[in-house]
Structure 1
Amino acid sequence: MNPGAPARIVLGAACLVGLIAAVAVLTGAVRVGSGEPSGPAPSAAAMTAPPVVAPDPTGGTPATVLAVADPVTMDVRLEDGRALRVRALGIQPPEACYSGQALAFARRTLAGRAVTLAGDGHSDRFSRALAWVTLSQGDDYAVLAAEAGVVSSYAADAPAERMPAVRAASERARVAGRGLWGPPCIGGPAGTNAAVSGTPG
């Protein structure tokens, strides 16, 4: 037997094992360093799917309000035809007292109207797209509703720079005793002031 033959056989076997390992890593059969099977690669569509209300460099996403479910929840249609359920940021609806009047205000103010939505692609646990809502004439819906006393200010998820105007409007309504800040919600029968408890909506 050729004296160099065993060394060549061992070297050849080592090369073959290395080649098999390289092919396994390249095909995704083995995750490097873990020894576990790798999961399927994300599809191109999943990696490029747009957020629910994408940021718009011109100041917002135009939409039309199709229906109003409660003082902060509305169904809208975007210009591209998509329908979304939106949760208006900056405000909190009444839980009990004054909830009917608050819903009537929201429907009167929003239903069928053109609005602009400013969001960052986030949604809440109810799958509502979170967005700041502005009416076509430039009126801030959160400020209008807070001024009317049909909602209270609510900063969770809202842009910090927008909240001072909402808080000021809510304070004016409170001082004036308007809406949920007046009778029967405030100073009414026991239990009727649940509307201002501040729990998430």
Structure 2
Amino acid sequence: MTPGPARILLSAACLVGLIAAVAILTGAVRVGSGASSAPTAAAAVTAPAVVGPDPDGGTPATVLAVADPVTMDVRLEDGRTLRVRALGVQPPARCYADQAMAFARRTLAGRAVTLAGDGRSDRFSRALTWVSLSSGEYAVLAAEAGVVSSYAADAPPERMPAVRAAADRARAAGRGLWGPPCVGGAAAAVSATPG
């Protein structure tokens, strides 16, 4: 029995969807407008283990470039450069992604920051760090502005209540991605992440 045209189209659509899902999960495809789900490692970036526990509360650095709302290249005081993933928040995948990127650039680019991490990195070779500015914790500032949702994965548990509270205030005020046209949009699933 020969399969009908509808069955062939359905099979092809399923195959294309499966290929797209694999590409997204492996980081071969970027999702969203402006936010990169799979940052590429810069050649000048050193091993992420250079940011570890610091007895003075963190490692001073300067943000050289912002790759997406949670990824930045920094220069450490000793001159080495490092790609960093800011912990505590997750950028929107689509709706409000451009605004989240603009906020990150405006808040981080060229600024002095303090990095706190335990030497771990993610699958993109980004150092997993808590990022602080003189004006406050980046995760709290971004959540309060409504440009990101709280995201507890890998974040220090003791720092997350302030991020969650800031995200709750933004959501209650309908600010940023919690207001029109997004009204939580793609970020709703991320903000529901336990932690």
TM-score (norm 2): 0.72
Secondary structure, in 3 states, of the residue corresponding to 1:153? strand
Match of 2:189 in 1: 197
Aligned to 2:28: none
Please state whether the residue corresponding to 2:98 is helix, strand or coil: helix
Q: Which residue of 2 aligns with 1:132?
A: 130
Offset of 1:148 from its aligned partner? 0.1
Equivalent in the alignment of 1:77: 75
Q: State the match for 1:59 in structure 2.
A: 57
Shift of 1:138: 4.8
- One of 100, 115, 118 as aligned partner of 1:117: 115
Aligned equivalent of 1:164: 161
Tell me which amino acid in the other structure corresponds to 2:188. V
Q: How many residues align?
A: 146
**Which 5+ residue runs of structure 1 have no aligned equivalent?**
1-48, 188-192
Larger strand proportion of the pair:
2
Q: Is the 8 A contact 2:49 2:127 kept in 1?
A: no
Cα RMSD after superposing both structures: 1.8
Structure 2 unmatched runs, 5+ = 1-46
Q: Hey, what does 1:179 align to over in structure 2?
A: 176
- Is the counterpart of residue 150 in structure 1 residue 147 in structure 2? yes
- d(CA) in 2 for partners of 1:118, 1:155: 16
Deviations 1:110-144 (A, max 9, x none): 00000000000000011000000000x25111000
Superposed, 1:27-106 pairs within 5 Å as 51-106=49-104
Note the alpha carbon deviations across 1:162-193, whole angstroms, 9 max, x for none: 00000000000000000000110118xxxxx1
Aligned residue in 2 for 1:19: none
Aligned residue number for residue 31 of structure 2: none
Kept after mapping to 2: 8 A contact 1:123/1:129? yes
> Does the 8 A contact of 2:71 with 2:85 survive in 1?
yes
What residue identity is the alignment partner of 2:90? Q
Amino acid across the alignment from 1:195: A
Compared with structure 1, are the counterparts of its residues 162 and 80 closer, same or farther at alpha carbon in structure 2 (3 Å cutoff)?
Answer: same
**How far is the alpha carbon of 1:50 from its aligned partner?**
8.7
Say if 2:48 and 2:121, in contact at 8 Å, map to a contact too.
no
> Which runs of 4 or more aligned residues in structure 1 lie more than 2 Å from their structure 2 counterparts after TM superposition?
49-52
